[in-house]
């Protein structure tokens, strides 16, 4: 059973370009969470999705960031018109249910560098 | 506001010595509590978790943590560290009504010296 798969592992974008980060949850998991880790900081929650639904996007910046988890395929975190401050590691986690008393499994992250 | 605090940013410990990492939480009700480890350039691996019951929790790699309600703490311990334990450690909490959304502490960087 493969774990949470994120790709690419490393992504370099020039300022103003778009970044698309992909996350395939563990088999049987329908709940996906995205977190951002800025240098020297802990992880900050961004968004929680279920299939075809955004449940909680309270941690998402209001502009340029969007996320989706379609019926088929991976979850996508999209950052439009990237700026240097978007450089960070973006982690995806998945869980089998929405309840807090289950373990969330993390992917290895996508490290975005904006130049 | 809900928060998780790790007071120690950086800890240096000798190989074979004991290790304790501190974690305090501020929640209205006791949250679910977790400790994760992150090796350089890697993702997060769950060491252990506390949901309810026995306040002393055993995890992987020889780690354990003790939940103390009176102190709002969930400290991580290991009796004898190995060089491979050098990593960053994150305490996290999840309230019972937050849909599995984790709140992380800022992390503690552990350096192991020979």
Structure confidence by residue, pLDDT tens digits, B64-75: 999 999 999 999
Q: How far is CA A62 from its chain centroid?
A: 16
Indicate yes or no: CB of A45 within 8 angstroms of CB of B103. yes
pLDDT of residue A99: 59
Q: How far apart are CA A29 and CA A31, in angstroms?
A: 6
**pLDDT, tens digit, 9 for 90 and up, residues B19-46:** 999 999 998 888 899 999 998 878 889 9
Pairing mode of beta strands B108-113, A19-24 = unpaired
pLDDT of residue B98: 67
With a pLDDT cut of 70, the percent of chain B lying above it is 96
pLDDT of residue A97: 74
Residue among A115, A42, A38 nearest A84 (CA): A115
Banded pLDDT at A100 (limits 50, 70, 90): low
Sign of the alpha-carbon torsion through A59, A104, B31, B92: negative
Interface size, chain A vs chain B, as Cβ–Cβ contacts under 8 Å: 65
Return mean pLDDT, chain B: 92
Query: Taking the CB of residue B92, how many other CB atoms lie within 10 A of it?
Result: 24
Residue among A54, A56, A107, A62 nearest A80 (CA): A62
Residue among B14, B33, B35 nearest B77 (CA): B35
| A109 contact residues in B (CB cutoff 8 A) | 42-43
Token pair belonging to B71 = 């102190």
Contact by Cβ (8 Å): A98, A31: yes
- Give the position of tokens 């929790």: B57
Return mean pLDDT, chain A: 92
pLDDT at A1 exceeding the cut of 60: no
Q: Is B48 left (phi over 0), alpha (psi -120 to 50) or beta?
A: beta
Indicate yes or no: CB of A100 within 8 angstroms of CB of B100. yes
More confidently predicted of A29 and B17: B17
Please classify residue B68 by burial: count the beta carbons closer than 10 Å to its beta carbon, then call 0-12 exposed, 13-18 middle and 19+ buried.
Answer: exposed
| A97 contact residues in B (CB cutoff 8 A) | 100
pLDDT at A2 exceeding the cut of 80: no
Banded pLDDT at B10 (limits 50, 70, 90): very high
pLDDT at A98 exceeding the cut of 70: no
């Amino acid at each position: 059973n493969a774990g949470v798969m994120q790709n690419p592992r490393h992504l370099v974008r020039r300022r103003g370009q778009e970044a698309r980060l992909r996350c395939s949850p563990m088999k049987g998991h329908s709940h996906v969470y995205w977190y951002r880790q800025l240098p020297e900081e802990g992880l900050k929650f961004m968004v929680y999705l279920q299939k075809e639904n955004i449940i909680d996007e309270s941690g998402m910046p209001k502009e340029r960031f969007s996320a989706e988890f379609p019926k088929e395929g991976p979850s996508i975190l999209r950052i439009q018109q990237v700026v240097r401050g978007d450089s960070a590691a973006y982690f995806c986690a998945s869980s089998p249910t929405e309840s807090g008393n289950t373990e969330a499994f993390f992917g290895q992250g996508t490290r975005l560098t904006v130049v | 506001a809900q928060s998780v605090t790790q007071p120690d940013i950086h800890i240096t410990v000798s190989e074979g010595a004991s290790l304790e990492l501190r974690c305090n939480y501020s929640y209205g009700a006791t949250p679910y509590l977790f400790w994760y480890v992150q090796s350089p350039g890697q993702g997060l691996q769950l060491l252990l978790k506390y949901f309810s019951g026995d306040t002393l929790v055993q995890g992987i790699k020889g780690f354990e943590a003790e939940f103390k309600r009176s102190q709002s703490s969930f400290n991580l311990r290991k009796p004898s560290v190995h060089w491979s334990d050098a990593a960053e450690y994150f305490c996290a909490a999840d309230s019972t009504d937050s849909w599995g959304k984790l709140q992380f502490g800022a992390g503690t960087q552990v350096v192991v010296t020979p």
